[in-house]
Structure 1
């Protein structure tokens, strides 16, 4: 501490570049502060620091297995974030002077690079805006941040004396229960589970926090109620959605899309108090939608869109500007290519001509290459074992292909399967299709088609939740709806950057599997960082890695022969 204070005194009022002298490690008795990178000016991205406690005095039971470990790391990240907002004064000079930040978590719980819980220490990775007056060093403000506020943050968040260990234990046990429940789904023959008492509505369309006033707690229909035993919470009940084709039907504003949205986020664990802690879905579930204007590179969409006018095949289909139906067909083919056991589809965000074609249009339009999804949902399960949950409000033809129909009325689910059978008998509809569907051909993508050059540098980085910068190209991920945090986008950008730098051509699935294997072996830190500080990253799913690769407009890909 004295050495740090001495350096700050020496560089006070000098040009901002003098802060470079701070790089290195400093002993604060209870913890070590390491300044990994110093920003070039007060308006540049903040400096990167790490604080590591001398030991780890938390109960070892809180991090006794990989699930508990990342759950505790998530809890401590949230504690540091709360402590920063309470203790750190914030802006006190030019640019971002005085700001202290740690990776801001969402409502989901993920492995992140923000925190490391080791048996011998706890380490938090943060960013600090080193204070400036104009473009000169403000040593007085820097002392306040580094020598006063930062130690208080550590004391309030990284040692047991400043942390509610019972809250930490509850957090860890909640995540452990959710992970166990999700792992039980295949053996129970289920694709999803929604616990009784769950709160599904969100605060607003721009917030993933729970609705606090007026939300109707979820209650399973008796016909679908399942009882399971969890390691910490014990016996719980809820609605089990079985494998096969399930419809969620009902009138407008009765909670259909809210239920489907909760299922789409059930691939992740949630913090206590979120309302969806025990809403879990198969970990490889993919939400499918239309995406007008997206690029498609060499995708085999022949299973949903047949031969085009002029005899053009769709087994190696590319376009820079896909229509709604074509994009939805590509999204399904790409999901199957990387691997999924569950598709989630909402009528509201789907292309009408992809979802259904009634008898009149079938009779009028004889040359139609699109096979509507209503003809595919049943073969997808019978042939490939891929289940589907579809939200339907206005297309009764789907009743003929459904194994189960859940009717939402006033936010309450009802099992309407028997009633749906009666309706289909009274109003028969002809469903076409040959009852068979094949996996789309895999693709090889050319790493050399991804140009990372941006001037004299190579760039592969995330920009917020929905954008990746690869050289001069900006990849739009706005419609990749199961991305939860900007940290996932950053990790995906680095994965793509490593693949592009390899110069090799590989199958999409191989690229994704290699990335996941690398992360399982070396952790997120293996994606690189500056002198031990890996930046702000969260663990992405294979499905979102593939989705990002597929949306690179410069991507060149060709289908492989079976």
Structure 2
């Protein structure tokens, strides 16, 4: 390993030379309390910044083992260190001058969720802390300005490392609270199963968000208060007594007038599959970690999926037990989303009628009289939702504002009134008695067998190196093939989409042999990720600093929307 003086000498020797001379700086250098690794050097000052990493050995970093001895604690601590490093580097970015992206110092910009990321990793055995970030190597035009890079590496960076990666320089109580929050959330997650709950929302939670483009809590928002009938009190390891609303497993209907908070509540529940940072307002909104949001998705591709639970006897004679289309309708797409959710192991479904296909959700009595059941290929969700729970243990939470059809099948009915939830189950059931009883189909739904075999796309490899490009939270591109993920609403961060690109690339290159089913592929991959972390899909030599781990359910969703995926 080279020393910091070796790097300084090298930088002086290439000052004022052509920009490609920066390539010679690649390597690992010892800087006092840490090691600096220059992993990738940008090709010119206008290209994507160079990628660097800093590693502080466990003894030097000094974080007590109790702060990272469980995976969920480690993820929370990594998230905290990333945010601290970002706060420090923000003071210095663009302080060094030059052309193009010269002087940038940046690390992952974390949102409100606490996600497992490559930006910071803590070794569970040694306690070594590694932060991965980017630096725009300075230049004047296309000529190296080494003195400005020396400022970054020798003046700015050591200060950032000292103030964010060494436990002794951090507020110990704040770091402790990060760990305590992670433990309390994990405890609530365990209590969901014991108490038969699909989700828990603590009293005092702030559910509304600041705006459509900001996930920060809305100022002066109405704090959440559980109706007495649904109150659950928990004794958390650190916070102590916490009371809130427990949503029981089964079928829960959320109703109310427009702008009264129905969709806001559902959005909070969808997001509850992830931990949130302190001050977010949703720290103690905890949802079954397998929960999946379902919606209609006109135009998506469907790959030989068995949707016969909902759709049969199509006029064009298509086989709905292995349904295939490149341009799905609202009803067929939502049917496929339900079945794919089952394949992904979801135990809770979230549905908002605003983003659903009406003919998939319900058929009223008048329509059934005019169009006989024998003439309608769609078995609406309302006729299957009870079977999904009683036969397969799948709970459903539905938001409805215009149709009371689900009153008959719901176990609990919550009315949102000016963001305050009220239980109206009895009144709604009594009102529903005046209407004809729901006629259910005689046949019971059979669980699909999920036997789809995945085959790779040979054209992808023939084009040479597979390049990955991410379009925010809209999609990810492998070479020229785009996977549209706009409507996979529980993807919380663009870096999760980048990771999905790496996952599909890894599967294409190493796993899709035409023998394994999609379920076997995903289960094998998630097992590898659990054992090896991101190295399972990136390899041992180098980890990019811009990946965030998606859930298993989003890996399934990505594969199911990959138009180039071969299936049979």
Report the equivalent of 1:6.
Answer: 9
* 1:110-153 CA distance string (max 9 Å, x none): 21111122334322111111112111211121111111111111
* 1:444-482 CA distance string (max 9 Å, x none): 243323643484422345443322112210111110100
Question: Which SS does the other structure have where 2:545 is aligned?
Answer: coil
Question: Which SS does the other structure have where 1:283 is aligned?
Answer: coil
Report the equivalent of 2:466.
Answer: 458
Q: Is the 2:94–2:102 Cα contact (8 Å) retained in structure 1?
A: no
Q: Is the 1:245–1:389 Cα contact (8 Å) retained in structure 2?
A: yes
Alignment of 1:423-502 (within 5 A): 423-434=431-442, 436-449=444-457, 451-453=459-461, 455-502=463-510
Report the equivalent of 2:412.
Answer: 404
Question: Which SS does the other structure have where 2:90 is aligned?
Answer: helix
**TM-score for both structures, normalised by structure 2:** 0.95
Question: Which SS does the other structure have where 1:512 is aligned?
Answer: helix
Distance across 1 between alignment mates of 2:271 and 2:458: 30
Distance across 2 between alignment mates of 1:454 and 1:94: 37
Distance across 1 between alignment mates of 2:106 and 2:119: 10
Q: Is the 1:295–1:321 Cα contact (8 Å) retained in structure 2?
A: yes
Distance 1:110 1:204, change over 3 A: same
Matched length: 557
Q: Is the 1:37–1:530 Cα contact (8 Å) retained in structure 2?
A: no
- 2:81 matched to 1:89? no
Q: CA RMSD in A?
A: 1.7
Distance across 2 between alignment mates of 1:90 and 1:450: 47
- 2:147 matched to 1:140? yes
- 2:412 matched to 1:379? no
Q: Is the 1:525–1:534 Cα contact (8 Å) retained in structure 2?
A: no
- 2:301 matched to 1:295? yes
- 2:366 matched to 1:360? yes
Distance across 1 between alignment mates of 2:20 and 2:453: 43
Q: Is the 2:94–2:105 Cα contact (8 Å) retained in structure 1?
A: no
* 1:297-322 CA distance string (max 9 Å, x none): 10100001111114432001011111
Q: Is the 1:337–1:439 Cα contact (8 Å) retained in structure 2?
A: no
Distance across 2 between alignment mates of 1:98 and 1:453: 37
Distance across 2 between alignment mates of 1:446 and 1:89: 47
| Match 2:288 to one of 276, 279, 282 | 282
Farther-moved stretch of structure 1 (271-280 vs 166-175): 166-175
Question: Which SS does the other structure have where 2:529 is aligned?
Answer: helix
Report the equivalent of 1:504.
Answer: 513
Shift of 1:404: 0.5
Distance across 2 between alignment mates of 1:56 and 1:473: 43
- 2:201 matched to 1:201? no
Farther-moved stretch of structure 1 (182-191 vs 193-202): 182-191
Q: Is the 1:42–1:94 Cα contact (8 Å) retained in structure 2?
A: yes
Report the equivalent of 2:330.
Answer: 324
Question: Which SS does the other structure have where 1:405 is aligned?
Answer: strand
Distance 1:35 1:482, change over 3 A: same
Distance 1:231 1:533, change over 3 A: same
Q: Is the 1:451–1:500 Cα contact (8 Å) retained in structure 2?
A: no
Shift of 1:376: 1.3
Q: Is the 1:293–1:322 Cα contact (8 Å) retained in structure 2?
A: yes
Distance 1:405 1:47, change over 3 A: same
Distance across 2 between alignment mates of 1:309 and 1:448: 32
Report the equivalent of 2:51.
Answer: 48
| Match 2:66 to one of 36, 58, 61 | 61
Distance across 1 between alignment mates of 2:94 and 2:169: 19
Report the equivalent of 1:516.
Answer: 526
Distance across 1 between alignment mates of 2:464 and 2:66: 50
Distance 1:354 1:38, change over 3 A: same
Structure 1 gap ranges (5+): none
Q: Is the 1:284–1:342 Cα contact (8 Å) retained in structure 2?
A: yes
Q: Is the 2:255–2:401 Cα contact (8 Å) retained in structure 1?
A: yes
Shift of 1:399: 0.1
* 1:530-560 CA distance string (max 9 Å, x none): 84333321111111001000111122323xx
Question: Which SS does the other structure have where 2:452 is aligned?
Answer: strand
Report the equivalent of 2:134.
Answer: 127
Shift of 1:95: 2.2
* 1:486-545 CA distance string (max 9 Å, x none): 221122111111111134122111111111101111011332268433332111111100
Distance across 2 between alignment mates of 1:434 and 1:202: 44
Poorly superposed stretches of 4+, deviation over 6 Å: none
Shift of 1:195: 0.4
Q: Is the 2:96–2:149 Cα contact (8 Å) retained in structure 1?
A: no
- 2:429 matched to 1:418? no
Distance 1:424 1:208, change over 3 A: same
Report the equivalent of 2:549.
Answer: 539
Farther-moved stretch of structure 1 (233-242 vs 59-68): 59-68
Shift of 1:90: 5.0
Question: Which SS does the other structure have where 1:325 is aligned?
Answer: helix
| Match 1:104 to one of 78, 84, 109 | 109
Q: Is the 1:453–1:471 Cα contact (8 Å) retained in structure 2?
A: no
Q: Is the 1:113–1:537 Cα contact (8 Å) retained in structure 2?
A: yes
Distance across 2 between alignment mates of 1:456 and 1:421: 62
